[in-house]
């Protein structure tokens, strides 16, 4: 609001100027009268409040005396006069803050200002007020207060009046203390009366000089915390306070009478400063009444800083002067720049929707990420309630209101849920709603940060689906292997039975081939689960590629012989070594060879080229078969992918797992596999690339396999809850020349073991009640008794992964047989028992 010295309209400018000058003349006269007053301190303070109330035109004026931690109403005028003698605590009041800071403070509205004691303000009718400290010898001794019943009644001019009266009161306190000291000295020693008279004269002279100095400074504020300088019409320094010394680095004596611009204005702006002053003096344009400017200012050391100048035109003894208050606003500029950078940063974020909400949840800001995620522009979103982004179900549960209440109570709410875009589509959102500190009006705000997590949620769903598929494949493989076990046992029995019937022989061969094919499909299913879950494990060492080639060709030869095909191995003859798992490498190369045989015509030739290529070993399998279309080349290594639908070609069987497994094995060895083809009917070439390794150091030759002990008849216990599997395995063991008996659960197995004490136990793992792991624990405890002998215990299970084998080995099993059990594997276990 305009101060009492400002003209509210152009027509009243002359009248306001006359009023202002008259007011200052009245104030100067009153101030001079008080400065020369000889009243006692209490009477003097009361006169100060009466005079100050009259000069300032306010409801009340009060002198609050500082007594320890309390303020004593020592003098008061107007409505506050009834409260003389009241004591109030300094803490929690504007006067207390004024004492702490030793500077004048203004309260524009006591109802909203948190710095005031509102109860005390209501008692004295203080709606707005201004307070200033009375500082004597560097400490605050009292507070001078002006009170108004109107809102925002006081301005900078009132602070000037209060500071001048505070200086006068401080001088009176000094005079009062000196007078008391003089009276004390007179009482103690009358002989010093002459000296006191001289001191009194000197004191009067000092008071006169002080009054003159204060009269000269009657319109300026000598504030220790704000730089104050003044200049005359010629631009020369008239006054320069201590804060200006600190801010600019120049002492008052160094700048007094010198051009102000030369000390505080950077050189590049000085001509403009002089020109502006000359123009103002000539025209009086833009009358200087508390005008504010921001411009660079100069320190003594040559550094510049951002300064805010408040300039006022004042008159003293008929001469015009210009009073300037200077503030260093560098911190403000830094804060503004930081806020602007933060705003630009927030606006540039596109992955997060960031918006500000008021205390009722209405949008107040909107960044680019919010537009990208929600689809609303800033103009469409700002001013609308943030419930706009919630689903109809959440509206029914009043979720927006609950979120605001929880954020206000806890400080932050974080959750993931569905949110709605402008087009009505929903997305999975991670939302963080945080409460912000209250502003000056006591209102609470919020910041809402949202991220679109739909892609992550879909990925998690895919991972969960993949995990369920792997679990299903493992379960399916196990369940399929159980019925395959008795079929394999029956086929093995048929092989041991001699028969001349051609139909029986051919039927047995058909069952044997189809059983092998079905077993291979089950193995492929389990391998698919291991590939997709990353559970393939390697047992690495230095491997000779020649051994891998030999074993792979040997394993694939029956398939080639059946189709009348030939394998042409083209070896460079150079020794090649890689760091890898020989079993997995043979598996990979065997898959490539079988794949080439499968898709090549009868009587064709498949070429296996082996040789070094830079720092890698290359194994390339080339065929003359059906070839691969260009569209399918990019997907041949994907899981369960086949170029043609099932049944399109007679040779298309399988599950589309083999090439995926080859790629996984290659990558686990630090290599890769690639496929090339000229198209349909042009054949294919699959290349396996593996990093070369240093050949192993020469050592002692490996010892030979110990010879088997002479054959002897063994007692064998077969334990399986699948009766067909147990009975067929018992019959097969009997046909191999041993004595076998069956048990169909864990307790019966333990009873039979105690009764017979067999040399071999073929033990199923997955039995109801007592599992195979429970049974072997009991068997090993019995075998550890004095006189007990080691029994060969082989696990029979549909689970055949590396982890499964490691688990049975740790449990004390001597062998791990994967159902359906091949006859050679069974014979290997029986041979192991003969050597014990």
Question: CATH code at 347?
Answer: 3.30.450.20
Question: Are residues 344 and 410 both part of a single domain?
Answer: yes
Beta bridge partner(s), residue 612: 617
For the chain, what is the largest distance between any 2 Cα atoms, rounded to a whole number of angstroms? Answer: 159
Q: How many residues does the chain have?
A: 836
Question: Are residues 168 and 41 both part of a single domain?
Answer: yes
Question: Are residues 89 and 134 both part of a single domain?
Answer: yes
Question: Are residues 445 and 494 both part of a single domain?
Answer: no
pLDDT, position 705: 36
* Structural domain count of the chain: 5
Domain with residue 799: its CATH number is 3.40.50.2300
Residue 719 covered by a domain: yes
* C-beta neighbour count of 558 within 10 angstroms: 8
Phi, psi of 59 (to 5 degrees): -70, -40
pLDDT, position 798: 78
Beta bridge partner(s), residue 293: 309
pLDDT, position 774: 92
**Peptide bond before residue 820 is cis, with ω within 30 degrees of 0:** yes
Question: Are residues 284 and 431 both part of a single domain?
Answer: no
pLDDT, position 312: 78
pLDDT, position 783: 59
pLDDT, position 215: 59
Among 303, 328, 353, the domain boundary falls at 328
- CA 181, chain centre distance (Å): 70
For residues 776 and 811, is the Cβ–Cβ distance under 8 A? yes
* C-beta neighbour count of 381 within 10 angstroms: 22
Residue 296 covered by a domain: yes
Question: Are residues 75 and 158 both part of a single domain?
Answer: yes
Question: Which of 586, 598, 532, 529 is CA-nearest to residue 560?
Answer: 598
Beta bridge partner(s), residue 566: 605
Domain with residue 168: its CATH number is 3.30.450.40
Cβ within 8 Å of residue 835, ≥6 positions away = 706, 708, 709
Full DSSP string of 354-373? EEEE-TTSBB----HHHHHH
In this structure, what token pair is assigned to residue 447?
A: 């910041």
Question: Are residues 443 and 464 both part of a single domain?
Answer: no
Residue 513 covered by a domain: no
Question: Are residues 58 and 160 both part of a single domain?
Answer: yes
Boundaries of domain holding 589: 536-691
Full DSSP string of 124-187? HT-SEEEEEEEEETTEEEEEEEEEESSTT---HHHHHHHHHHHHHHHHHHHHHHHHHHHHHHHH
Taking phi first (over 0 means left), then psi (-120 to 50 degrees means alpha), and beta for anything else, what does residue 246 get?
alpha
pLDDT, position 309: 79
Residue 515 covered by a domain: no
Question: Are residues 324 and 338 both part of a single domain?
Answer: no
Residue 697 covered by a domain: no
How far CA 65 is from CA of 88, 145, 650, in Å, comes to 10, 11, 111
Among 300, 328, 356, the domain boundary falls at 328
- The CB-side HSE value for 590 (13 A sphere, CA atoms) comes to 17
Residue 702 covered by a domain: no
For residues 612 and 692, is the Cβ–Cβ distance under 8 A? yes
Question: Are residues 728 and 778 both part of a single domain?
Answer: yes
Question: Which of 358, 431, 361 is CA-nearest to residue 400?
Answer: 361
Phi, psi of 293 (to 5 degrees): -135, 150
Residue 516 covered by a domain: no
Question: Are residues 90 and 181 both part of a single domain?
Answer: yes
Domain with residue 562: its CATH number is 3.30.565.10
Average pLDDT of each block of 10 consecutive residues along the chain (836 residues)?
47 58 60 65 83 82 88 88 88 87 90 88 89 85 89 84 79 72 68 58 68 55 69 85 87 88 86 80 61 82 85 76 82 70 62 86 87 89 90 85 89 88 89 78 80 79 66 63 70 70 70 66 62 63 89 83 89 87 83 86 90 88 85 66 48 60 84 85 88 72 39 86 85 86 91 89 89 89 60 86 85 88 86 79
Phi, psi of 671 (to 5 degrees): -115, -160
Residue 596 covered by a domain: yes
Among 216, 240, 266, the domain boundary falls at 216
Question: Are residues 652 and 675 both part of a single domain?
Answer: yes
Q: What's the whole-model pTM score?
A: 0.35
pLDDT, position 793: 92
Burial of 138 (0-12, 13-18, 19+ CB in 10 A): exposed
- CA 294, chain centre distance (Å): 39
Beta bridge partner(s), residue 411: none
Among positive and negative, which fits the CA dihedral 575, 580, 581, 587?
negative
């Amino acid at each position: 609001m305009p101060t009492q010295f400002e003209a509210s309209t152009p027509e009243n400018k002359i009248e306001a100027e006359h009023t202002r000058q008259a007011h200052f003349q009245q104030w100067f006269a009153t101030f001079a009268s008080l400065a020369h007053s000889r009243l006692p301190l209490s009477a003097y303070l009361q006169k100060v409040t009466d005079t100050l109330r009259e000069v300032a035109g306010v409801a009340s004026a009060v002198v609050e005396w500082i007594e320890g931690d309390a303020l004593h109403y020592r003098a008061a005028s107007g409505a506050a006069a009834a409260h003389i003698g009241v004591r109030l605590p300094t803490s929690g009041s504007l006067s207390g803050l004024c004492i702490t800071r030793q500077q004048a403070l203004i309260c524009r509205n006591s109802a909203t200002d948190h710095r005031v004691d509102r109860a005390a303000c209501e008692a004295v009718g203080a709606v707005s007020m201004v307070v200033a400290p009375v500082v004597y010898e560097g400490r605050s001794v009292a507070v001078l207060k002006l009170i108004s019943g109107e809102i925002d009644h006081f301005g900078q001019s009132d602070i000037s009046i209060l500071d001048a009266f505070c200086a006068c009161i401080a001088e009176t306190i000094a005079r009062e203390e000196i007078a008391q000291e003089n009276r004390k000295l007179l009482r103690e020693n009358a002989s010093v009366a002459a000296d006191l008279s001289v001191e009194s004269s000197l004191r009067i002279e000092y008071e006169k000089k002080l009054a003159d100095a204060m009269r000269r400074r009657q319109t300026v504020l000598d504030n220790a915390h704000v730089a104050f300088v003044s200049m005359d019409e010629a631009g020369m320094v008239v006054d320069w306070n201590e804060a200006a010394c600190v801010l600019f680095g120049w002492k008052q004596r160094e700048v007094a009478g010198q051009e102000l611009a030369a000390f505080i204005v950077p050189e590049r702006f000085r001509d403009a400063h002089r020109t502006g002053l000359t123009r103002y003096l000539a025209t009086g344009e833009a009358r200087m009444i508390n005008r504010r400017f921001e411009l660079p200012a100069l320190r003594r050391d040559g550094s510049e800083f951002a300064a805010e100048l408040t300039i006022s035109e004042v008159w003293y003894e008929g001469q015009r002067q210009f009073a300037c208050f200077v503030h260093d606003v560098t911190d403000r500029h830094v804060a503004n720049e930081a806020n602007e950078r933060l705003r630009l940063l927030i606006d540039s974020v596109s992955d997060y929707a960031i918006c500000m909400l008021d205390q009722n949840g209405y949008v107040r800001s909107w960044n680019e990420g919010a537009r990208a995620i929600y689809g609303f522009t800033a103009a469409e979103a700002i001013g609308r309630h943030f419930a706009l982004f919630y689903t109809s179900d959440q509206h029914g549960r009043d979720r927006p209101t609950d979120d605001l209440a929880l954020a206000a109570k806890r400080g932050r709410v974080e959750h993931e849920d569905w949110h709605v875009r402008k087009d009505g589509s929903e997305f999975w959102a991670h939302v963080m709603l945080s409460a912000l500190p209250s502003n000056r009006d006591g209102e609470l705000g919020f910041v809402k940060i949202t991220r679109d997590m739909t892609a992550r949620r879909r990925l998690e769903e895919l991972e969960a689906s993949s995990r369920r598929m792997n679990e299903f494949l493992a379960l399916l493989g196990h369940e399929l292997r159980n019925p395959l076990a008795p079929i394999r046992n029956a086929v093995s029995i048929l092989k041991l039975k001699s028969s001349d019937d051609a139909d029986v022989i051919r039927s047995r061969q058909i069952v044997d081939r189809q059983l092998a094919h079905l077993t291979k499909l089950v193995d492929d299913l389990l391998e698919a689960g291991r590939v997709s879950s990353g559970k393939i494990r390697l047992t690495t060492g230095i491997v000779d590629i020649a051994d891998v080639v030999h074993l792979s060709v040997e394993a694939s030869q029956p398939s080639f012989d059946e189709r009348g095909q030939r394998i042409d191995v083209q070896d460079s003859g150079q020794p090649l070594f890689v760091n890898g798992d020989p079993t997995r490498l043979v598996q990979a190369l065997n898959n490539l060879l079988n794949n080439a045989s499968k898709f090549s015509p009868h009587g064709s030739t498949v070429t296996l080229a082996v040789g070094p290529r830079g720092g890698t070993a290359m194994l390339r399998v080339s065929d003359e078969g059906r070839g691969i279309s260009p569209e399918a080349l990019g997907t041949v290594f994907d899981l369960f992918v086949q170029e043609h639908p099932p049944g399109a070609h007679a040779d298309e069987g399988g599950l589309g797992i083999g090439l995926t497994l080859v790629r996984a094995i290659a990558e686990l060895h630090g290599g890769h596999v690639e496929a090339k083809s000229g198209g349909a009917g042009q054949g294919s070439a699959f290349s396996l690339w593996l990093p070369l390794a240093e050949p192993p150091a020469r050592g002692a030759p490996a010892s030979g396999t110990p010879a088997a002990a002479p054959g002897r008849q063994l007692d064998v216990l077969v334990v399986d809850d699948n009766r067909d599997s147990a009975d067929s395995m018992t019959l097969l063991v009997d046909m191999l020349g041993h004595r076998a008996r069956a048990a169909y659960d864990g307790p019966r197995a333990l009873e039979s073991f105690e009764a017979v004490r067999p040399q071999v136990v073929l033990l199923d793992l997955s039995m109801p009640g007592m599992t195979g792991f429970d049974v072997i624990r009991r068997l090993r405890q019995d075998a550890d008794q004095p006189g007990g002998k080691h029994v060969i215990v082989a696990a029979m299970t549909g689970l055949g992964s590396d982890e499964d084998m490691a688990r049975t080995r740790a449990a004390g099993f001597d062998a791990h047989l994967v159902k359906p059990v091949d006859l050679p594997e069974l014979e290997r276990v029986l041979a192991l028992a003969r050597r014990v």
